[in-house]
Structure 1
Amino acid sequence: MKKTYENALRLLDSRRRKGRPKEIAGSGGVPSISEAPGVTGTPNLRGIPSLVGMHEWLYLLGHSNNDVNNINIIHIAGTKGKGSTCAFTRSFLHVHGLRTGFPGKVGLYTSPDLRGIRERIQINNKPVSEALFTQYFFEVWDGLSSQSALTPGHDGKDKMPRFLQLLALIAFHTFIRERTDVAIFETHHGGEYDATNVIPKPAVTGITAIALDHVAQLGPTIENVAWHKSGIFKHGVPAFSSSQDPAVISVFQARAKEKEVPLKFVEVDQSLPKDAWALHAPVQRINCSLALAIAEAFLELKAPAESRSLTPEDIAQGIERFNWPGRYETIVEGNNHWFLDGAHNELSVKHVAEWFAKTALDGSKSSPYVLIFTHISEERDCNALMECLAHSLRENGIRPRYIIFTTYQERLDGNTRIDKTLKSLLSPPPDVLTMYSEGWKKIDPQAEIITENAIEGALHAARKIGEKEGGMRTLITGSLHLVGGVLNLLRPLE
């Protein structure tokens, strides 16, 4: 096989698992918090934890614990705001590095990608190039496949990493080979048993807002989720968390005591600029404050003695240069304004409604509000999510005149880009558009409802409204899959 970018993507895609395990390993599934084990315990889990095998695979690639520790990892977990917090942290450290020389190279590993797989592995604010991704992918793939007999098997037969494990390994390999001065790693889903938790001793850890999510894997209570997320705490490593519910705080404090971790809960920093565009969404002020605390702690530990703090100018520039596609993002096309956020649960759509109401009012009040929405999932009540968004918009004074429902299919001709990593989600239930249309009509019989089978068609429909009305303000939300397709059509990845 030729070592091309396209072939790297095909091999990577072959490592997707067909679906989450249907059976719970053991007798009781994920334990309740009263049964949750200590640091050395092993609870019953759904399937094989993704952490299994990561140490051995890194070793087979020639990377020791010291190699991993030497790239100075900041490890961030949470339910909401992980990506934004990582991006704010990256922005602060990058600006500081431009001024002082440290850190000179800032790595970032996040998921999911929106426009292409390379978005998940970035250095100094840019996705790695196709050439670099291809080079490091095949170094990892060839290095592991040639020694597959020695790697840990997950099912008695298959001894290669699964999709997310492989991506994390490529990220570690890339940052070690590129000698980054800091590497910011976002967890995938949990924490304790997440593939990224192979990090022996991060420089700093952080946890964003905790809410119920991925309950089939993490457990049915907020305490279960908190236990898993705080699994990234490491002995003696400073940890920071945004404000949390009392039940979450209790779990975090217990785990911090167990691991002898200095833990600090971060409130919103009142010194942040009041009118910064990146902070229009109130939740982003929380994420930014947490990132600021994390970045300052990192510099205190790792920077040269003469430059161990962020200046007010660093902070202002870091916020100004903040960029996190598809999260509280605005794109302007003449009189047409697109407002994008990949919110996909009830808590996040409430935040989006508040942000949209505040931000969209800055534009022309004569142009109509438009909503483009879809959410296709077996795990969530899609109709309930739509209803929550509708009521949240109304509570914030927004009543969209036009509602456009669509699917995850990107283009009208059905073509799919080679680096799209969401292929399995392209086929919605046959009645999803009818379900959404009928549901919204019950909420607002006066709204004009449009259905489009592809995201491209939804954008065309919104533009036609803009032409007719002299402009529009369109909110696009409900799923990162939807927002990713929109971004690829409006602003493809370079």
Structure 2
Amino acid sequence: MRRSYENALKLLETRRRKVRPKTPATPSTTQESVTPSGVPTVKGISSLVGMKEWLQALGHSESDVDKLNIIHIAGTKGKGSTCAFTRSFLRTHALRTGFPARIGLYTSPDLQCIRERIQINDKPITEDLFTQYFFEVWEALIPLGSGGCAEASRQPRYLQFLALLAFHTFIRENVDAAIFETHHGGEFDATNVIRRPIATAITSLGLDHVAQLGPTVEDIAWHKAGIFKPGAPAFTVTQEAGPSEVLRKRAAEKNTGLTFVSSSNILPTNSRVLSVPVQRLNCSLALELATKFLQLKGHALDADDISRGIDNFSWIGRFEIIEQGNSQWFLDGAHNELSLEQAAQWFAKNVHAAHVPQHRLLIFSHFSEERDGVALLESLARALVKHDAKPDHVIFTTYQEREDGYTRIDKTLKVPETPFPDLCTIYSSLWKKMHPDTAISTEPTIQGAIKLAEQISNQKGGIQAFFTGSLHLVGGALSLLRR
């Protein structure tokens, strides 16, 4: 096969599982430990199994991974923002001092293209670099199916492959620091092959991925805290009493100190980036991580680093506002109940601050095998009413971006088992039952939803349109709004 970017993406898609396994993992494949509720959660073979052997097959030792100087971040909400704030603080310090000169960032999922997941110095790696390193990993690992140890004889799945590609890229590109976001959990996550991080962190916790992580927030805390490592300072934001106790216990078990972080009083009060309370908390956590990282490397953040780090912060699709004439587009890729509550509060705060009330639109789409879209929509509706930001018009749409059916080759998108028209009908009926006075529309594409919103804006003299429910929806909207 020709080594091309398009072929790399086609091969990567073959590593997706058609369905998630339903059978609980055996103790031998999970190094079984007991979560607080005692409910077995890992299904099939855990994502961590094989990672060490695959890295070795690529020629990378544990020492090579250690030299990446990794900050490892887990949590339910705010992982991406915390990673981005941490990167921004380190980057501004580097521009002043020269260290760390090259900063790697691994996050998921992507909004607009797959290369967003693997970045160096604020930019996704190029198509050429992605292609080169993809085929180096692919050609080294696929032959392992013919023999070797039991763990290495398997081939990596989609997220495992992407994590391996990130490690390989950062090692080959000689980054001085790397920030890794976990995929879902922590203890059995593919990224937890990291044995000696510089520091670890847990962002805000809530119920999400319960089929994989357990039915209680204490179970989720147990899994997330699996990234704690002996001697690596651990940080977390203020949590509820139950998960806080679990995190303390796990830190003690793993022989590390745990620091609870609240909103820092040294952050500026007039920054638009920090106008959302949860973003102040994420920024405060990132500030602790960057400060500790640099301290351990013989450096120190100064006030200018902090100020410029906040000014230069960028994380697309999170609490983002685009203004076009009389139309204001509010975008946040919230897709669980905790994040939807925060996004609704943010939208309400901004619409209330407007001098002239405008017609409010909600544009919503959600599909997931792991989450109940109906429950999420109900939660969002309650939050918008609670914060006095109930929309005048709701548009339900799909993940399909354009009316001509075109999809970018490097846009990752799962095809739902339930047809989108059926989901839109379900969501429409639900909203009509809750709020019969709201105008409701359905559109088969994101482009169609935007066109309808623009028509309403022309009729009403302006709109405040809120995109939420899915990163796929927000990513598509951003691609169309930023023509």
Q: What is the TM-score when the length of structure 1 is the normalising length?
A: 0.93
Report what 1:88 is aligned to. 85
The Cα of 1:268 is off from its aligned counterpart by 0.8
Alpha-carbon distance in 2 for matches of 1:379, 1:194: 17
1:150–1:371 CA distance, 2 compared to 1 (3 A): same
Report what 2:370 is aligned to. 379
Report what 1:444 is aligned to. 435
Report what 1:250 is aligned to. 245
Q: Which stretch of structure 1 is more off in the superposition, 259-268 or 380-389?
A: 380-389
Amino acid at match of 2:92: V
1:294–1:322 CA distance, 2 compared to 1 (3 A): same
Alpha-carbon distance in 2 for matches of 1:414, 1:107: 34
Report what 1:233 is aligned to. 228
Report what 1:112 is aligned to. 109
1:20 aligns with 2:11: no
1:429–1:416 CA distance, 2 compared to 1 (3 A): same
Once the two structures are superposed, what CA deviation does each residue of 1:271-323 show, in whole Å capped at 9, x if it has no partner? 21112111121111111110000110000012xx4xx2211221111111111
1:219 aligns with 2:210: no
Aligned partner of residue 278 in structure 1, secondary structure: coil
Report what 1:77 is aligned to. 74
1:152–1:361 CA distance, 2 compared to 1 (3 A): farther
The Cα of 1:31 is off from its aligned counterpart by 7.1
The Cα of 1:430 is off from its aligned counterpart by 3.9
Aligned partner of residue 300 in structure 1, secondary structure: helix
Amino acid at match of 2:427: Y
1:455 aligns with 2:446: yes
Aligned partner of residue 449 in structure 1, secondary structure: strand
Alpha-carbon distance in 2 for matches of 1:485, 1:151: 43
Report what 2:475 is aligned to. 484
1:401–1:44 CA distance, 2 compared to 1 (3 A): closer
1:34–1:78 CA distance, 2 compared to 1 (3 A): closer
Aligned partner of residue 433 in structure 2, secondary structure: helix
Alpha-carbon distance in 2 for matches of 1:119, 1:69: 23
1:133 aligns with 2:130: yes
1:67–1:398 CA distance, 2 compared to 1 (3 A): same
1:407–1:428 contact (8 Å) kept in structure 2: no
* RMSD of aligned alpha carbons: 2.1
Q: Which stretch of structure 1 is more off in the superposition, 404-413 or 473-482?
A: 404-413
1:222–1:72 CA distance, 2 compared to 1 (3 A): same
The Cα of 1:47 is off from its aligned counterpart by 0.7
* Correspondences of 1:20-169 after superposition (within 5 Å): 20-26=20-26, 33-34=35-36, 45-150=42-147, 159-169=154-164
2:66–2:195 contact (8 Å) kept in structure 1: yes
Amino acid at match of 2:359: P
Alpha-carbon distance in 1 for matches of 2:349, 2:148: 53
Once the two structures are superposed, what CA deviation does each residue of 1:231-284 show, in whole Å capped at 9, x if it has no partner? 101111100001111111111111111111011010110221112111121111
Structure 1's unaligned 5+ residue stretches are 38-42
Amino acid at match of 1:99: R
The Cα of 1:360 is off from its aligned counterpart by 3.0
Alpha-carbon distance in 1 for matches of 2:406, 2:164: 30
Report what 1:40 is aligned to. none
Aligned partner of residue 235 in structure 1, secondary structure: coil
Report what 2:289 is aligned to. 294
Structure 2's unaligned 5+ residue stretches are none
Report what 1:262 is aligned to. 257
Aligned partner of residue 207 in structure 2, secondary structure: coil
Alpha-carbon distance in 1 for matches of 2:366, 2:473: 8
1:272 aligns with 2:267: yes
Amino acid at match of 2:268: P
Alpha-carbon distance in 2 for matches of 1:429, 1:31: 39
Amino acid at match of 1:314: D
Alpha-carbon distance in 2 for matches of 1:295, 1:199: 18
Report what 1:357 is aligned to. 348
Alpha-carbon distance in 2 for matches of 1:426, 1:299: 47
The Cα of 1:480 is off from its aligned counterpart by 1.2
Alpha-carbon distance in 1 for matches of 2:44, 2:74: 21
Aligned partner of residue 279 in structure 1, secondary structure: coil
Q: Which stretch of structure 1 is more off in the superposition, 273-282 or 288-297?
A: 273-282
1:369–1:474 contact (8 Å) kept in structure 2: yes
The Cα of 1:138 is off from its aligned counterpart by 0.8
1:34–1:402 CA distance, 2 compared to 1 (3 A): closer
Alpha-carbon distance in 1 for matches of 2:382, 2:251: 39
The Cα of 1:474 is off from its aligned counterpart by 0.6
Once the two structures are superposed, what CA deviation does each residue of 1:192-243 show, in whole Å capped at 9, x if it has no partner? 1100000120011011011121111112222211111101011111000011
Report what 2:5 is aligned to. 5
Amino acid at match of 1:315: I
1:85–1:291 contact (8 Å) kept in structure 2: yes
Aligned partner of residue 226 in structure 2, secondary structure: helix
Amino acid at match of 2:366: H
1:421 aligns with 2:412: yes
Q: Which stretch of structure 1 is more off in the superposition, 134-143 or 353-362?
A: 353-362
Amino acid at match of 1:219: G
1:483–1:34 CA distance, 2 compared to 1 (3 A): closer
Aligned partner of residue 340 in structure 2, secondary structure: helix
Alpha-carbon distance in 1 for matches of 2:428, 2:405: 23
Aligned partner of residue 431 in structure 1, secondary structure: helix
Amino acid at match of 2:392: R
Amino acid at match of 2:233: P
The Cα of 1:147 is off from its aligned counterpart by 3.9
Q: Which stretch of structure 1 is more off in the superposition, 417-426 or 4-13?
A: 417-426
The Cα of 1:380 is off from its aligned counterpart by 2.7
Aligned partner of residue 423 in structure 1, secondary structure: coil
Aligned partner of residue 332 in structure 1, secondary structure: strand
Alpha-carbon distance in 1 for matches of 2:165, 2:108: 13
The Cα of 1:490 is off from its aligned counterpart by 2.4
Amino acid at match of 2:25: A
The Cα of 1:25 is off from its aligned counterpart by 2.9
